[in-house]
Amino acid sequence: MTLESTPRIGTVYLIGAGPGDPGLITVRGMELLSTCDVVVYDRLAHPSLLSHARRGAEKIYVGKASAQHAMRQPDINALLIANALEGRSVARLKGGDPFVFGRGGEEAEECRAAGVPFQIVPGVTSAIAAPAYAGIPVTHRDAASSFAVITGHERDDARESGTRAPGEAEGRRNWVHIAHAADTLIFLMGVEALPEIASRLQENGRDSETPVALVQWGTWAQQRVVSGTLATIVEDVRQAGLTPPAVCVVGEVVKLRPALQWFESLTTSPLNGKRILVTRAREQASELSELLRAKGAEAVEFPVIRIAPLEDCTAIDEALGNLSTYDWVLFTSINAVPIFAERLSKLNLDARAFHGIKLAAIGPATADAVRRHLGIRADFVPTEAVAEAVLGQWPDPEMSGKRILFPRALEGRETLPEQMRARGAVVDVLPVYETLYDSESGEEMRRLLNEGRVDAITFTSASTVQNFALAVSIPSQSLAETVGKTRIVAIGPVTAAAAREFGLVVDLVADEHTIPGLATALETLWSPPHV
Ligand code: SAH
């Protein structure tokens, strides 16, 4: 092997993804996530974080819901090391903090043994964050001056690691010690072992009236909390049907929850706690995601399309050179505006090039983009983003003979230009970008759909539907089967028609064909019926 062909060894970054809320990853973690070649993640890392991975990064899922199906720890270690030895940088994204029951220590040891460099990026642990989002401070001057974080399920922990025989760790636990380890006891992996935890703590001197709370999916939109006392909690949890993952907090601090609970009451919107897929291009997703999050929903961004400026700019440059020959420039999509604006500036031109030319923007978001990128207020924004409204409300009394420049996608629909031409306008369609298929989220999207963990999918254009179908298709299964009970919501009739072509049942079409209109429409899906 020559020196050149010896790959340099990549670094493994053990990154704390935080407890769930994607905003709770650290700045350093996010930085690394967006630059690494491979992302290895499990179930407790929020799926939205994956959309921040570098384009083209390989994403490998290693954790399934039940221990039996999880990739075994030795295989995970081998995977990390093999990738690093091939010269790839590896983001090992782990729920919470990598060194709090995360097997981070073991993974780091294995890296060291294999001569693979590693770095640790601590994370916000669920042990503290889940109680915090439930309004339970783990310490408080009047209620607790210490806390301990304890595993509730040593057996499974040991079995998964493959280092101990099943049952070996059982009975080894020193419950006297655990019961008095600190004022506040925090159990992770404690749901299945809850009966044992509750009874052992009482047997070993914790008062049966000690308050207890379980926080399930803490910091996620689906967070649920059940509280009781050591005497009642097993029955309380059984009745509520609470399942893992959950953090169990034992101690006087739990009493503060009624006064300090905040997260569950942030919003009264019916979208609270719903998980909604956003399939728009990454660059455009944030507006919808933010609206949904403001209503308490969990927006999961799985872009299926990607906006790419055309490489060959000759036609754009030519049109910009002849701008003064046009009466109107028409933007129907927010995507065309920044690309057009950037080309303008590359040619050393600015807003003055539009002198005497009118601007039409279809939809308020497009009008906003025109203002932001070109510094121009649109002369015409139709009340509705459909061809009839554009033509019906067109401000020039006479369209005939007018020259209209129409910068848009390469593969746009011909309806509008054709109808304008039918009225005598001269329309120059100018492709400035193309919509490319983005398949990066396909596998993860399929997984969440199969697990039944998605409440609704939003489609904002026909191309999001087509590419979604492409991204999640399973040969043996129709798209409708893959989607299952998940609701389908379309921004407008054209998008809805595209979804129906794929055999999907569209549950809702937004009345107002805008992103805010779509967010409002979503709320009606779960509103109590009017009487
Ligand atoms: N390293 C992680 C813990 C991994 S052990 C951390 O620091 O948070 C896995 C356990 O963590 C789960 O069984 C559950 O008890 C807890 N857990 C992780 N995320 C959680 C969340 N969002 N809500 C409640 N419990 C969570």
Q: What is the CATH number of the domain that holds 288?
A: 3.40.50.10090
Q: Is 217 in the pocket of ligand 1 (CB under 6 A)?
A: yes
Q: Is 215 in the pocket of ligand 1 (CB under 6 A)?
A: yes
Ligand 1 centroid – CA 150 distance (Å): 11
Q: What CA–CA distances, in Å, run from 125 to 99, 129, 145, 496?
A: 9, 6, 19, 42
42 as an active site residue: the answer is yes
For 73-109, write each residue's pLDDT tens digit: 999 999 999 999 999 999 999 999 999 998 999 999 9
Do both 115 and 17 map to the same domain? yes
Q: Which residues contact 225 (CB under 8 A, 6 or more apart)?
A: 134, 213, 214, 215, 216, 257, 261, 264
Q: Cβ(338)–Cβ(344) under 8 Å?
A: no
Ligand 1 centroid – CA 201 distance (Å): 21
355-388 CB burial, b ≥16 within 10 A, e <16 = eebbbbbbbbbbbbbbeebbebebebbbebbbbe
Q: Is 245 in the pocket of ligand 1 (CB under 6 A)?
A: yes
Which entry of 42, 97, 157, 236 is annotated as an active-site residue?
42
How many domains is the chain built from? 4
User: By alpha-carbon position, which residue is closest to atom 25 of ligand 1?
Assistant: 246
For 39-77, write each residue's pLDDT tens digit: 999 889 998 899 899 988 999 999 855 444 668 899 999
Do both 485 and 376 map to the same domain? no
Ligand 1 centroid – CA 97 distance (Å): 9
Q: Is 492 in the pocket of ligand 1 (CB under 6 A)?
A: no
Range of the domain at 474: 275-304+438-525
Q: Is 131 in the pocket of ligand 1 (CB under 6 A)?
A: no
Tell how far CA 528 is from the center of its chain. Answer: 27
In ligand 1, the atom with minimum distance to the C-alpha of 189 is 13
In ligand 1, the atom with minimum distance to the C-alpha of 219 is 22
Do both 343 and 446 map to the same domain? no
Q: What CA–CA distances, in Å, run from 159 to 103, 170, 244, 272, 343?
A: 13, 11, 18, 37, 60
Q: Cβ(472)–Cβ(442) under 8 Å?
A: yes
The per-residue pLDDT for 69 is 60
346 as an active site residue: the answer is no
Which of 164-173, 225-234, 345-354 has the weakest average pLDDT?
164-173
Q: How far, in Å, CA of 433 to CA of 309, rounded?
A: 4
Residue 74 is assigned to a structural domain of this protein: yes
Q: Is 337 in the pocket of ligand 1 (CB under 6 A)?
A: no
Q: Which amino acid makes up residue 227?
A: S
Q: How far, in Å, CA of 490 to CA of 304, rounded?
A: 15
Do both 299 and 389 map to the same domain? no
For 150-174, write each residue's pLDDT tens digit: 999 765 444 444 444 444 445 578 9
User: By alpha-carbon position, which residue is closest to atom 6 of ligand 1?
Assistant: 96
Do both 151 and 231 map to the same domain? yes
User: By alpha-carbon position, which residue is closest to atom 2 of ligand 1?
Assistant: 96
Q: What is the CATH number of the domain that holds 235?
A: 3.30.950.10
Q: How far, in Å, CA of 83 to CA of 85, rounded?
A: 5
Q: Is 302 in the pocket of ligand 1 (CB under 6 A)?
A: no
Do both 355 and 420 map to the same domain? yes
Do both 288 and 197 map to the same domain? no
Q: Is 247 in the pocket of ligand 1 (CB under 6 A)?
A: yes
Q: Please report which residue ranges of 48-190 form alpha helices under DSSP H.
A: 73-85, 104-113, 126-133, 154-161, 175-179
For 367-389, write each residue's pLDDT tens digit: 999 999 999 999 999 988 778 88
Ligand 1 centroid – CA 285 distance (Å): 28
What is the pLDDT of the chain when averaged over all its residues? 91
Residue 506 is assigned to a structural domain of this protein: yes
Domain-terminating residue out of 437, 460, 492: 437
Do both 219 and 334 map to the same domain? no
Beta bridge partners of 188: 151
Instruction: Say how many C-beta atoms besides its own lie within 10 A of residue 291's C-beta.
Output: 18
Q: How far, in Å, CA of 381 to CA of 503, rounded?
A: 34
Do both 98 and 171 map to the same domain? no
Q: Which amino acid makes up residue 88?
A: R
CA angle 416, 420, 421 (to 5 degrees): 115
